[in-house]
Amino acid sequence: MNFVPAPGFADPVMDATAMFRAVLAAMAHPGRVVDLPVATQAPLPLGGGLGALLLALADRETPLWLAPDMASADVTAWIGFHAGASVIQDRGQAVFALADKAEALLPLDAFSVGMPEYPDRSATLIVKVASLGEGTGLLLRGPGIAETARLEVGGVPKIFWQARDELSPLYPLGIDLILCAGAKIAALPRTTMVEI
């Protein structure tokens, strides 16, 4: 039986560009909830929003680690076909990591935090969350935030935020985080301080 992938982007160049701009907007304004301009028909548990993120960010040069719940044969084949990204087992070699639940990413220090000469050679973690909302929840401070911001993140346990906080002394090394709830994303770069 031949593998027939679900569709990716309708217009690969324009859709990827629009998605990349949405990710940049989220990274530049930590805690801001950004609507995704494009969705895909990626197989579950990946889904349209996460699928679009991967197609915009991942390629043949960006090894991808998938949490066990995400690593179905259909998802792996879809990613390989549309993005060309290789799915790897070694967290430390991943440029991107994708999880259906934040706790599946623990321990966070198993991912690359970069090197002093190349802090940008770190992992970006992409997490599927139950919901995202502004104005309540986590208290955020740092670059890209005027004074403080608040971000409500549904379904992420306190232990995950504590593990993220433990990496802060490593700055400028660290990990960047993209949260995805359906067709919405928010980003927390390593520069963002989070208070529960």
- CA dist list (Å): 132 to 4, 138, 156, 164, 195: 33, 11, 11, 18, 16
| Count, residues in the chain | 196
Sign of the Cα pseudo-torsion (61, 75, 82, 55, in order): negative
Q: Which residues pair with 96 in a beta bridge?
A: 64, 124
134 close to 31: Cβ distance less than 8 angstroms: yes
Give the Cα-Cα-Cα angle 136, 142, 147 (nearest 5 degrees).
60
**Alpha-carbon gap, residue 108 to 102, rounded angstroms:** 10
* pTM as predicted: 0.94
Q: Average of pLDDT values for 35-45?
A: 91
pLDDT in tens, 145-194: 999 999 999 999 999 999 999 999 999 999 999 999 999 999 999 999 99
Q: Is the pLDDT of residue 94 over 90?
A: yes
Domains and CATH numbers, the chain: 12-195 (3.40.50.11310)
What's the order of all strands across the beta sheet hosting 131-141?
149-154, 131-141, 193-195
Q: Which residues pair with 125 in a beta bridge?
A: 97, 177
pLDDT of residue 1: 42
pLDDT of residue 5: 65
Q: Which of 1-15, 120-134, 169-183 has the lowest mean pLDDT?
A: 1-15
pLDDT in tens, 59-93: 999 999 999 989 989 999 999 999 889 999 999 99
Question: Can you tell me which residue has the tokens 């309708």?
Answer: 10
